[in-house]
Structure 1
Amino acid sequence: MANFSIHLLLLLSSHYMLAMANSATNSNPDSTNFIKKSCRATRYPALCIQSLSSHASTIRQSELQLAQVALAVSLSRAQSAASFISKLPKMKGIKPREYRATKDCIEIMGDSVDQLSRSIKELGGMRRRVAGEDFAWHVSNVQTWVSAALTNENTCLDGFSGPSMNGNAKVAIRKRVLNVAQVTSNALALVNRFAARHGFAETTNLP
Structure 2
Amino acid sequence: MARASVFLLLLPIFYFVGTANSTATTSDTNFIKSSCSATTYPQVCIQSLSSYATSIQQSPRQLAQAALSVSLTRAQKAKTFVTKLAKFKGLKAREYGAVKDCLEEMGDTVDRLSKSVQELKNMGKSKGQDFVWHMSNVETWVSAALTDDNTCLDGFSGKALDGKIKASIRAQVLNVAQCTSNALALCNRFASKH
Instruction: Say whether the fold is shared (TM-score over 0.5).
Output: yes
Matching residue of 1:69: 66
Distance 2:103 2:141 in 1: 18
Which of 112, 125, 132 is the matching residue for 1:128? 125
Q: Which amino acid aligns with 2:37?
A: R
Per-residue Cα deviation, 1:55-76 (whole angstroms, up to 9, x for no partner): 1001000000000000000000
Distance 2:119 2:18 in 1: 21
Q: Is the CA contact (8 Å cut-off) linking 1:94 and 1:167 kept in structure 2? A: no
Matching residue of 1:110: 107
From the two aligned structures, give the one with the greater helix fraction: 2
Distance 1:188 1:89 in 2: 29
Per-residue Cα deviation, 1:134-159 (whole angstroms, up to 9, x for no partner): 11111000000000000000100000
Please list every run of 5 or more consecutive structure 2 residues that lacks an aligned counterpart in the other structure.
1-16
Matching residue of 2:94: 97
Q: Which amino acid aligns with 1:190?
A: L
Deviation of 1:40 (Å): 1.2
Report the structure number with the largest CA radius of gyration.
Answer: 2
RMSD over aligned CA atoms reads 1.6
Which of 60, 75, 78 is the matching residue for 2:75? 78
Q: Which amino acid aligns with 2:135?
A: V
Which of 142, 149, 154 is the matching residue for 1:153? 149
The residue matched to 1:128 in structure 2 has which SS? coil
TM-score (norm 1): 0.83
The residue matched to 1:41 in structure 2 has which SS? coil
Matching residue of 1:166: 162
Distance 1:63 1:21 in 2: 25
Task: Please tell me whether residue 41 in structure 1 is matched to residue 44 in structure 2.
Answer: no
Distance 2:162 2:153 in 1: 13
Distance 1:101 1:21 in 2: 44
The 3 A distance-change label for structure 1 pair 173 and 132 is same
Per-residue Cα deviation, 1:38-91 (whole angstroms, up to 9, x for no partner): 011100001101110111001000000000000000000000000010011222
Q: Is the CA contact (8 Å cut-off) linking 1:95 and 1:167 kept in structure 2? A: no
TM-score (norm 2): 0.88
- Give the number of equivalent residue pairs: 178
> Equivalent pairs: percent with the same residue?
61
Please list every run of 5 or more consecutive structure 1 residues that lacks an aligned counterpart in the other structure.
1-19, 199-207
Q: Is the CA contact (8 Å cut-off) linking 1:21 and 1:58 kept in structure 2? A: no
Deviation of 1:101 (Å): 0.5
